[in-house]
């Protein structure tokens, strides 16, 4: 399971390859390893989508916190509107990322 | 066309501790989220690279080579599409991270969340510089000259022509410390005493006054005449807010010096005293005090600044400008229990602070607004609310060698000027035609700054009132609770119908009958108790 941070400031994205190094087209038995490579690509995208989802969830919680604050005025209105926009943008990025994953999963 | 804009930072004033903790928690959340989105951006960028490697590794696979999909027994993905999409996700994540960073900054600035830490750091720098420059004046002088020269060189290069004003900008961070050090040198305060006090400049001003006051009296005279002058033109109009009062102050300041022509005939060393009638029938007063004019027979000359900065209340109230305002207030008939607000620019602000400090027993001075005035060490009582607006590189506001107190009753708005694209407002021409403006609203600029109206294209001294007005506008736009609380207090003081506006003019002379003889207005025996 992913955690949001390691050692306080490390991110969930502090990863190297999701499957440990670049795959070779030909395995040890000299057969084509394209199926393994494609699976690795899908795994990589799946991981990235999950991580992005977690970050988006955190962002989605912030507008409600801002709404309950007594801050008033033009800048406060702008702040709340932009925070809502951010949450929408974050959701859109997740949706787009999931579409990317679907494209990969539907791939040959 | 280029212009200038001001970004404001607020310190002091009244805050709810609970609210502030909540804002700080949200700011931290946004900071963390921004960091996560940036990391997500990096991760998606890495994913794009990794997919590219996968694609390359399949060069000899018939499925990849055919470009038409999987061959029997092989598998491939639409890598070009996936790589492009990963890059797009990286860019989108980066944008969200940047947006959240900006919002955290806005929240922090609006609620001054780090002001305590910033204030401590600034004090440390100031005291260190002060002690160093007092202990090693030659080296300090060389360092100052070097910093000024570097500031001028860098600024002039960026502007494309020589402009000495950048020397002030380059030393903005050091001005209070260096002036404090110079003051210690003049007044003989020992370096080890410096951390224990902040009034070195005021002590040295007191020392200097012993020399400058007799000299000034000899040259200019000590005979002050204050008369009421009348005009049909509206120079200082009705006001319901600090912003409107600042605009009135600017109009009076520029009209009396002939920078604008409102047809009033008012000349230098003129102040305004206004009476507002409240709903309950009582009176409230607003006194508008412009700054130094430097005219030969003006009570608002250059030397009076030194007296006003003295740590000795008697010397302060003997300053001609303070005497003049006190006399005008007396002539206007301000009662001792009637609420008074004072607003002043530069020397006018120092006079306001002096009167609030030294005539606290004679008047009910409830609010003082200063713009570009070095008043950090004036002993303004806690019953008086103070709103100080300063620019970080204007030098004049730093002449006190110290930060303003960060107390409930003392709010400081500090502005920082940066270059911007100058815009023009929409308007209606003489022939009735509409001229569309090309202005960018503060909302569109995300309240990051406020444009300075009428700023010159090249860098100019930021001591002009238009810079303080922009700083105040940006601060109020931010919706800082501390600023709004002070603003509301000011509004309450002058809440009512404007009934009278009196203008008073002061002149100095060697001979004649003084309408404000020195010492007559102030019970100097009570000072120093």
Report ipTM (2 d.p.): 0.79
Per-residue model confidence (pLDDT) at position B183: 92
Looking at the DSSP bridge assignments, the partners of residue B285 are B275, B340
Q: Which of B57, B93, B484 sits opposite A22 (nearest CB)?
A: B57
In angstroms, rounded to a whole number, what is the distance separating the alpha carbons of residues B227 and B32? Answer: 63
| Partner-chain residue, chosen from B76, B96, B447, that has the shortest CB–CB distance to A75 | B447
Residues of A within 8 A of B43 (CB-CB) are 11, 13, 15, 48, 51
Strands of the sheet containing B283-289, edge to edge, are: B223-229, B497-509, B270-277, B283-289, B339-345, B364-371, B385-391, B410-421, B2-12, B450-451
Tell me the DSSP string of B200-233: HHHHHHHHHHHHHHHHHHHHH-SEEEEEEE--SS
Considering only residues B529 and B295, tell me which one the structure prediction assigns the higher pLDDT. B295
Average pLDDT over residues B35-55: 95
Q: What is the pLDDT of residues B430-451, one digit of tens each?
A: 677 766 665 667 788 889 999 9
Report whether pLDDT(B62) > 90: no
State mean pLDDT over B206-229. Answer: 94
- In angstroms, the CA B254 to CA B273 distance is 17
Residues on chain A touching B481 (C-beta within 8 angstroms) = 70-71
Least confident of A13-22, B310-319, B432-441: A13-22
Q: How far is CA B122 from CA B14, B127, B130, B395, B404, in A?
A: 21, 9, 12, 16, 12
- Could you identify the residue written with the tokens 């109230």? B317
For residue A10, the model assigns a pLDDT of: 44
Chain B residues inside the 8 Å CB shell of A72: 479, 484
Q: Quick check: A81 and A27 in contact, CB under 8 A?
A: no
Instruction: Report the SS3 class of residue B444.
Output: coil
pLDDT band at A56 (very low <50, low <70, confident <90, very high): very high
| Residue B524: predicted pLDDT | 40
Average pLDDT, chain A: 77
Cα angle: B414, vertex B419, B423; to 5 degrees: 105
What is the interface size between A and B, counted as CB pairs within 8 Å?
184
Q: Among B155-169, B184-198, B452-466, which stretch is predicted with the lowest mean pLDDT?
A: B184-198
Q: How far is CA B41 from the centre of its chain?
A: 39
Question: Is B384 in contact with B368 (CB distance < 8 Å)?
Answer: yes
pLDDT: which is higher, B517 or A32 = A32
What are the pLDDT digits (tens) for B360-413?
A: 999 999 999 999 999 999 999 999 999 999 999 999 999 999 999 999 999 999
pLDDT of residue A20: 40
Find the range with the poorest average confidence among B78-87, B285-294, B303-312, B511-520. B511-520
What's the pLDDT score for residue B93? Answer: 97
* Closest listed residue to residue B436, CA positions, set B421, B426, B451, B428: B426
DSSP H helical ranges for B344-432: 347-358
From the list B26, B85, B446, the residue facing A62 with the nearest CB is B26
pLDDT tens column, B321-335: 999 999 999 999 999
pLDDT reading at A28 higher than 60: no
Cα torsion B436, B437, B438, B444 to 10°: value is -110
The per-residue pLDDT for A29 is: 43
Enumerate the residues of chain A whose CB falls inside 8 A of the CB of residue B60.
Answer: 25-26, 32
Residue-level pLDDT at B12: 93
Could you say which of B53, B75, B99 has the minimum Cβ distance to residue A38?
B75
What integer pLDDT is reported at residue B185 of this predicted model?
A: 86
A41 and B51: CB-CB below 8 Å? Answer: yes
8 Å CB contact of B103 and A86: yes
Which chain A residues contact residue B76 at CB under 8 A?
34, 38, 107-108
Give the pLDDT of residue B501. Answer: 97
CA distance A3 to chain B (A): 12
Place B45 in a pLDDT band, splitting at 50, 70 and 90: very high
**Residue B163 neighbours by CB under 8 Å, 6+ apart:** B152, B155, B156, B458, B459
pLDDT at site B16 = 84
Interface contact flag, B82 A76, Cβ < 8 Å? no
Dihedral, CA of residue B194, residue B196, residue B201 and residue B202, to nearest 10: -150
Confidence grade of residue B527 (pLDDT, cut at 50, 70, 90): very low
pLDDT band of A37, cuts 50, 70, 90 = confident
- In the DSSP assignment, the letter for residue B398 is G
Q: How far is A29 from chain B (nearest CA, A)?
A: 15
Q: Give the pLDDT score at B135.
A: 86
CB A67 within 8 A of CB B97: no
pLDDT of B511 reads 78
d(CA B105, CA B102) in angstroms, rounded, equals 5
Q: What is the DSSP letter of B501?
A: E
CB contact under 8 A, B58 and A22: no
Mean pLDDT of the B205-232 span: 94
Please, what is the average pLDDT of chain B? Answer: 91
Give B215's contacts (C-beta < 8 A, 6+ positions apart): B303
Please, which pLDDT band fits residue B421 given cuts at 50, 70 and 90?
A: confident
Give percent above pLDDT 90 in chain B.
76
Q: How far is B467 from chain A (nearest CA, A)?
A: 20
What pLDDT is attached to residue A21?
A: 43
- Exposed / middle / buried, residue A39 (Cβ in 10 Å: 0-12, 13-18, 19+): middle
Q: How many other β-carbons are positioned within 10 Å of the β-carbon of residue B296?
A: 10
Find all residues with CB under 8 Å of B102, minimum gap 6, and list them.
B446
* Res. A19: pLDDT tops 70: no
DSSP secondary structure, B142-209, as one string: HHHHHHHHHHHHHHHHHHTS--TTHHHHHTGGGHHHHHHHHHHHHHT--GGGGGG-S-HHHHHHHHHH
Residues A24, B57: C-beta atoms closer than 8 Å: yes
Q: Round the CA-based radius of gyration of chain B to a whole number and report it.
A: 29
Q: Which residues from A are below 8 Å from B449, CB to CB?
A: none
Average pLDDT score over residue span B152-156:
94
pTM attached to this predicted model: 0.85
Give the integer Cα–Cα distance in Å for B210 and B310. Answer: 10
Q: Find the range with the poorest average confidence among A2-11, A25-34, B164-173.
A: A2-11
| A75/B110 CB distance under 8 A | yes
Give me the mean pLDDT over the B220-246 stretch. 96
Over residues B416-435, the mean pLDDT reads 74
CA distances from A100 to A18, B224, B239 (A): 17, 82, 60
Q: With pLDDT > 90 as the criterion, what percentage of chain A qualifies?
A: 46
Question: Which residues on chain A are in Cβ contact (under 8 Å) with B59?
Answer: 25
Q: Chain A: give the shortest CA distance to residue B374, in Å.
A: 30
Q: Is A74 left (phi over 0), alpha (psi -120 to 50) or beta?
A: alpha
The whole-number pLDDT of residue B190 equals 85
């Amino acid at each position: 399971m992913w955690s949001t941070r390691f050692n306080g400031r490390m991110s969930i994205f502090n990863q190297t390859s999701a499957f440990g190094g670049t795959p070779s087209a030909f395995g040890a038995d000299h057969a084509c390893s394209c199926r393994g490579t494609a699976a690795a690509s899908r795994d990589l995208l799946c991981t990235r989508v999950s991580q992005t989802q977690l970050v988006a969830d955190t962002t989605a919680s912030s507008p409600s916190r801002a709404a309950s604050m007594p801050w008033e005025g033009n800048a406060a209105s702008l702040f709340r509107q932009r925070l809502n926009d951010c949450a929408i943008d974050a959701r859109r990025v997740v949706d787009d990322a999931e579409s990317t994953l679907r494209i990969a999963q539907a791939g040959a | 066309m280029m212009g200038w804009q001001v970004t404001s930072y607020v310190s002091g004033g009244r805050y709810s501790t609970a609210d502030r903790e909540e804002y700080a928690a949200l700011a931290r959340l946004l900071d963390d989220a921004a960091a996560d989105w940036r990391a997500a951006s990096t991760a998606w960028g890495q994913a794009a690279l990794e997919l590219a490697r996968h694609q390359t590794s399949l060069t000899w696979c018939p499925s990849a080579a055919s470009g038409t999909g999987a061959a029997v027994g092989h598998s491939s993905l639409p890598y070009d599409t996936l790589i492009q999409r990963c890059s797009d996700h990286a860019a989108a994540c980066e944008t969200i991270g940047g947006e959240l960073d900006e919002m955290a900054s806005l929240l922090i600035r609006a609620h001054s969340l780090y002001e305590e830490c910033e204030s401590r750091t600034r004090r440390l720098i100031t005291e260190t510089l002060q002690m160093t420059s007092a202990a090693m004046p030659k080296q300090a002088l060389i360092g100052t000259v070097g910093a000024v020269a570097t500031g001028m060189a860098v600024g002039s290069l960026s502007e494309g022509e020589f402009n000495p004003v950048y020397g002030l900008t380059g030393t903005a961070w050091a001005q209070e410390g260096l002036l404090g050090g110079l003051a210690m040198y003049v007044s003989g305060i020992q370096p080890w005493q410096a951390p224990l006090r902040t009034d070195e400049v005021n002590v040295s001003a007191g020392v200097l006054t012993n020399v400058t006051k007799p000299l000034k009296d000899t040259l200019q005279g000590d005979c002050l005449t204050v008369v009421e002058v009348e005009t049909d033109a509206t120079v200082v109009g009705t006001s319901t807010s600090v912003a409107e009062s600042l605009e009135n102050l600017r109009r009076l300041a520029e009209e009396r010096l002939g920078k604008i022509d409102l047809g009033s005939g008012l000349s230098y060393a003129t102040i305004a005293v206004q009476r507002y009638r409240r709903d309950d029938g009582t009176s409230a007063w607003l006194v508008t005090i412009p700054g130094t004019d430097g005219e030969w027979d003006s009570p608002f000359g250059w030397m009076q600044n030194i007296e006003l900065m003295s740590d000795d209340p008697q010397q302060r109230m003997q300053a001609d400008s303070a005497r003049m305002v006190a006399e005008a207030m007396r002539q206007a008939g301000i009662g001792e229990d009637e609420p008074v607000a004072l607003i002043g620019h530069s020397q006018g602000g120092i006079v306001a602070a002096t009167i609030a400090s030294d005539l606290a027993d004679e008047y009910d001075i409830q609010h003082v607004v200063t713009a570009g005035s070095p008043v950090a060490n004036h002993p303004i009582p806690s019953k008086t609310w103070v709103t100080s607006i300063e620019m970080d590189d204007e030098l004049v506001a730093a002449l006190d060698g110290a930060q303003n107190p960060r107390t409930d009753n003392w709010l400081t708005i500090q502005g920082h000027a940066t270059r911007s694209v100058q815009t023009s407002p929409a308007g209606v021409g003489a022939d009735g035609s509409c001229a569309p403006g090309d202005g960018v609203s503060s909302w569109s600029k995300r309240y990051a700054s406020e444009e300075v109206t009428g700023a010159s294209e090249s860098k100019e001294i930021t001591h002009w009132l238009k810079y303080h007005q922009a700083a105040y506008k940006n601060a109020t736009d931010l919706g800082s609770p501390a600023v709004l609380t002070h603003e509301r207090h000011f509004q309450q003081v002058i809440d009512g119908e404007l009934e009278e506006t009196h203008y008073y003019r002061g002149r100095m002379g060697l001979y004649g009958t003084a309408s404000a003889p020195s010492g007559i207005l102030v019970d100097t025996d009570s000072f120093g108790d």
